[in-house]
Amino acid sequence: MEKNALLAGGAVVVVVAAVATALLVPGVLADPADEGPVRPGPVDVADVSIAAGPATGETVTLAVETRIDHRGNPTNNVSVLVRAVDADSGLLTTTKRISVGNVSRDGEVTAGTNVTVPREGGYDVEVVLYRDAERVDERRKSVRGVSAIKPPYLQSTTSFTESEALPPVSFSITDAGEDRTTMNLMATLTNTGDNPAENLEVTFVLRQAESNIVASRTTVDAGAIQAGRTETVEASATVPNDYNYYIDAVLLRDGVVIDTARGAANLNPTRTISVNQTTEDVELRVEDFEDDDSGPRMTDQPEATHTESSAPGFGALAALVALVASALVARRWTK
């Protein structure tokens, strides 16, 4: 009887100790619903978009936005690596890493960053998605024509027109002299913006087509061009005759070139040039383009002279003697 009582007391002690341990030490008893460590939910790159940001004369900033798709359990330590690779050389230009952190909700999460690259050529933008330093997805997009992204000082709503009916550069003859011709130069500008364009100037440069010698240069104020309007700017230039010229028009705002256009003036009727090419070479008289106080001028050419001369000892008497000698020699041979 005592033995049974002793065993029963020991069992009670064991049960009490087990209950106390379970209460005092959490986690000793396993939860039957516990399936072990939680597996992180999948993440991948849903889309990548690139927009042009601020630009300078040398660089341009690309705004890269990455949309990350997430489903299932929370995912920790998500990050994005953005790389810009030169499309021509394949060299890495710049790298940027974005920390997204922990992603718990289902749907898309956006991660944005800016990368600055030289304002030339094109780039392949690579986006690599990481989870706990493990690469899980990547996406690539190409950007071309980065040089077309202009800094603020080059941006303008005003430019030369592009129309056959209203050419950007034209001219008319106002005075055709014996040696020199005076032309009225015209450049046509259009403001396609919503505000007036001001502080504009147009520089006309006339260059002899074959030699590239500048025969005339003049700058005129273009005034203010109202929104949506087309205006013509005029200037005068005097150049030597019998040459063909390219007429280059340069549009400037506060000393910055914002547009250019070209025309052609054929003052040599035997040869013609177009804006893109010439047909043949011509003889050039550099003195026609010499400068003085009044600009390029023509110089007088001395008339060519022809002088006849005879060698000494060959007059009429010498010719007669030679004729007689020839007759005597011929008579001798006939005998």
90 and 121 inside one domain: yes
Q: Are residues 186 and 106 in the same domain?
A: no
At residue 205's C-alpha, the angle toward residues 204 and 209, to 5°, is: 140
**Structural domains of the chain, count:** 2
Q: Are residues 121 and 227 in the same domain?
A: no
Give a yes or no: residue 92 inside a domain: yes
Residue where a domain stops, chosen among 148, 173, 188? 148
Q: Do 181 and 204 have their domain in common?
A: yes
pLDDT-derived band at 294, boundaries 50, 70, 90: very low
Residue 279 lies in a domain: yes
Confidence of residue 300 (pLDDT cuts 50, 70, 90): very low
Does 273 score more than 80 pLDDT? no
- Which tens digit of pLDDT belongs to each residue from 156-186? 999 999 888 889 999 999 998 889 999 999 9
**Residue 82 sits in the same domain as residue 184:** no
Is there a domain that residue 78 lies in?
yes
Residue 273 lies in a domain: yes
Decide if 136 contacts 44 (C-beta within 8 A). Answer: yes
Q: Which of 82-96, 141-155, 262-276, 281-295 has the lowest mean pLDDT?
A: 281-295
Grade residue 29 by pLDDT with cuts at 50, 70 and 90.
Answer: low
Of 148, 166, 185, which residue is a domain's last? 148
Look at residue 288 and tell me if it is in a domain: yes
CATH code for the domain in which residue 69 is found: 2.60.40.10
The model carries a pTM of 0.59
- Domain check: are 179 and 94 in the same one? no
Query: Is residue 172 in some structural domain?
Result: yes
Does residue 331 belong to any structural domain of this protein? Answer: no
How confident is the model at residue 268, as a pLDDT? 83
51 with 87, same domain: the answer is yes
In this prediction, residue 283 carries a pLDDT of 53
pLDDT tens digits along 193-233:
999 999 999 999 999 988 899 999 999 999 899 999 999 99
Asked whether residue 47 is assigned to any structural domain, the reply reads yes
pLDDT top residue among 200 and 273? 200
- Please report the pLDDT score of residue 36 as a whole number: 55
Task: Indicate the DSSP class of residue 273.
Answer: B
Domain that holds residue 87: 43-148
Q: Do 185 and 279 fall into the same domain? A: yes
Average pLDDT over residues 307-329: 48
| Residue that finishes a domain, picked among 148, 183, 209 | 148
Percent of the chain with pLDDT over 90: 59
Average pLDDT estimate for 51-77: 94
